[in-house]
Structure 1
Amino acid sequence: MTYQVEVCIDNLESLHYAIAGGASRIELCSSLALGGLTPSFGFMQQAAKISSIPIYAMIRPRQGDFLYNEEEIESMLLDIDAAAQAGLQGVVFGVLTSDGNIDMQQASRLAQRAKSHNLGITFHRAIDQCHDYVAAIEAVAELGCERILTSGLASNAEQGIEVLTKMVALANNRFAIMAGAGININNVTQIAQTTGVTQLHLSGKTARQSKMRLIAEQAKMGSQDLDDFIIPITSIETIEKVVKALRSVA
């Protein structure tokens, strides 16, 4: 069994650490604290220059739900173009209708644009907000996606093991089921062995202190409960341990 470990990152420092830790693929985002939003064009270009492994860009124009209007879909199409122009290998998206089905009309537009650039496609955790995941899996098959990122409809993948196992059976080798949300060294082998997933997704997040000598705490750049002088980064050690653990059961 060969396992793939995808690491989601939202800064260039973390890109280096994810690669050093043995990641198989990168999900490139901005704002991981919001679940991941579309990275900037400059970030995509620079990441493509640095990376020795495939990079998939998150295509999500805002935080919140996955019900998008026409203007938002148009911006997502342009972001797919940008990912291709930047030299990335794929994109990550999800689009739902108001009643919790995959919006096949809009998802097909996004998928066709990605395929026109020879970009791979991951359908993201929007599936965890679908009212019928069985129908959603068939819709993803129709779209021609390479994989679905999912927690098994639960708050984390460990709690979603039962549904993840069913999803792997339903996918039936047409595409991969990639387990994500709460993946760590303590549960990764259990999740992989129990469900049959061969792809796992995590951020491996830690943090470091700012290297600023002047700590101007009185002026907040955003939410008042966030420390602007603590930088979230990917932990090389965490990624290394997860990769090693999966190799031990391969």
Structure 2
Amino acid sequence: MSVFVEVCIDSIRSLSLAEHAGADRIELCSALRLGGLTPSDGYMQQAAQKARIPIYAIIRPREGDFVYSSDEIEVMLQDIANARQAGCAGVVIGALTPNGQLDVPAIDAMLAQAHGMGVTFHRAFDHCQDPHAALEAILARPAIERILTSGQATNALQGKEALKQWVDATRHSSLTIMPGAGVSPDNAQELLAYTGAREIHLSARSEQVSAMPSNSYASMGDGDDARYPITDSERVRLVKAIANRF
């Protein structure tokens, strides 16, 4: 069986591009420039209806750190319920305490809300002060299927030593280590060969130039209104071809 390829996207147009290029699963986000935020209800519904592969919605109510207030956790629990109602196969979660430990009560509440759905623990893991303790706590929660991680490095290639250690440590468990961050056709072969991972994650982002002229004096935010992120299907196809050799 070949390595599983997950592609994160932040538009409905990118869904068909990623799927047709060979993606095995979609991490559904909005605002990938901010690291990925919770998708809207309409976006989740349309994606779940159109997709022929599993859709996992990220549950992240804002940019920034992963330390959440009780009100934010309530938002996240409702978002999980919305993802279920929309028909998503799973959710992508994570929460930490101010001292960089897993926020176990928040995580357990989200797992209870997601009962019966697939669950990925996202790159909040890369901000844990003690990743080995965090790994043990996640292993004790079999509802969590995988950890998306860069090996606590800027990108997965730089974190390949830690990734290999964690892949080896979880090889005989139900938990999967999924390298992500900076994955491309240029490094996927090395990452998979070195770490032994059976899943890999990438965004394969390129930019789509707007069809209309931009008014540079009336920006909608910090980004460039004249262009927006879109999935590069060729990068996905190339990574999938590499994954098929493992």
TM bucket, shorter chain: over 0.9
Task: Tell me if 1:154 matches 2:185.
Answer: no
List runs of 5+ in structure 1 lacking aligned partners.
Answer: none
Task: Tell me if 1:233 matches 2:230.
Answer: yes
Aligned equivalent of 2:174: 174
Distance in structure 2 (CA, Å) of the matches to 1:169 and 1:37? 31
CA deviation after TM superposition for structure 1 residue 122, in Å: 0.2
Counterpart residue type for residue 5 of structure 1: V
Query: Which runs of structure 2 are paired with 1:100-179 in the superposition (5 Å)?
Result: 100-115=100-115, 118-144=116-142, 145-172=144-171, 173-179=173-179
CA deviation after TM superposition for structure 1 residue 158, in Å: 0.2
Distance in structure 1 (CA, Å) of the matches to 2:121 and 2:43? 22
CA deviation vs aligned residue, 1:137-189 (integer Å, no higher than 9, x gap):
11111222000000001000000000000111222332100000000001001
8 Å CA contact retained: 2:214, 2:225: no
CA deviation vs aligned residue, 1:102-160 (integer Å, no higher than 9, x gap):
11111001011101xx1100000111111111111111112220000000010000000
Counterpart residue type for residue 239 of structure 1: V
Moved more, 22-31 or 138-147: 138-147
Aligned equivalent of 2:36: 36
Does the residue aligned with 1:143 lie in a helix, a strand or coil? coil
CA deviation after TM superposition for structure 1 residue 41, in Å: 0.4
Distance in structure 2 (CA, Å) of the matches to 1:83 and 1:142? 24
TM-score (norm 1): 0.95
List runs of 5+ in structure 2 lacking aligned partners.
Answer: none
CA deviation vs aligned residue, 1:204-242 (integer Å, no higher than 9, x gap):
011121112x4323211111xx32021210011010011
CA deviation vs aligned residue, 1:26-59 (integer Å, no higher than 9, x gap):
0000110010010000100011111110000000
CA deviation after TM superposition for structure 1 residue 97, in Å: 1.0
Query: Which runs of structure 2 are paired with 1:15-30 in the superposition (5 Å)?
Result: 15-30=15-30
Distance in structure 2 (CA, Å) of the matches to 1:11 and 1:66? 23
Distance in structure 2 (CA, Å) of the matches to 1:179 and 1:238? 16
TM-score (norm 2): 0.97
Counterpart residue type for residue 133 of structure 2: A
Aligned equivalent of 1:211: 211
Distance in structure 1 (CA, Å) of the matches to 2:61 and 2:188? 30
8 Å CA contact retained: 1:137, 1:171: no
Moved more, 202-211 or 176-185: 202-211
Moved more, 163-172 or 81-90: 163-172
**RMSD between superposed Cα atoms in Å:** 1.0
